[in-house]
Amino acid sequence: MRRAFHCPGCGATRCVHALLHLDFAQALAWNPLFVVMAPFLLFGLARIAFQMWTGRGAPGINWPRWGTRAILWLMLTYWVVRNIPYEPFTLLAPHRLEDPVTQQIDGSGSGKVPRRYVTRLRGAGFIDTQVADSL
């Protein structure tokens, strides 16, 4: 059996997409390390942009020398831990949370499914015509 390993950045693009749509729970499911590190990355990019724009150093706290090593060790540890195939470590691997639309189709939810979702799901082969007509 072949097993794919999840790198520390796996799910980061989907995580950014979820963050831009303010879906924090799904963002954490895609890549929790990226959610935690995003504010620090944005702060660092803002400092670099300020320095490039003005030509002088950005005011504020400077990054300590040990900080880079700490980040690298954190990423390495995260990489190993998210690939351990036992609970609760499997929750660190990128995964999709339960979608309310699929819960409604399965009958576990309530309410009517919008027609555009039914059309997409039927076209992708996720549901058959009889189920789609009943929705």
- The total number of residues shown for the chain amounts to 135
Higher pLDDT, 26 or 105: 26
Confidence of residue 13 (pLDDT cuts 50, 70, 90): very high
**pLDDT at 54 > cutoff 50:** yes
Helix (H) or strand (E) holding 121: helix 115-123
Confidence of residue 85 (pLDDT cuts 50, 70, 90): confident
- The secondary structure of the chain in percent helix, strand, coil, rounded to multiples of 5, reads 60, 0, 40
Q: Which pLDDT score, from 0 to 100, does residue 110 have?
A: 45
| C-beta atoms surrounding 24 within 10 Å | 11
Confidence of residue 73 (pLDDT cuts 50, 70, 90): very high
| C-beta atoms surrounding 12 within 10 Å | 19
Of 42-51, 57-66, 80-89, 108-117, which gets the smallest average pLDDT?
Answer: 108-117
Contact 24, 35 (CB under 8 A): yes
Kindly report the pTM of this predicted structure: 0.62
Q: Which pLDDT score, from 0 to 100, does residue 109 have?
A: 47
d(CA 36, CA 24): 11
Residue-wise pLDDT for 107-130, tens only, equals 444 445 555 556 666 666 656 655
Residue-wise pLDDT for 86-102, tens only, equals 888 888 888 888 755 44
The backbone region for 35, taken as left when phi is positive above 0, alpha when psi lies in -120 to 50, beta otherwise, is: alpha
Q: Which pLDDT score, from 0 to 100, does residue 98 have?
A: 73
Of residues 5, 2, 3, 1, the one with CA closest to residue 94: 5
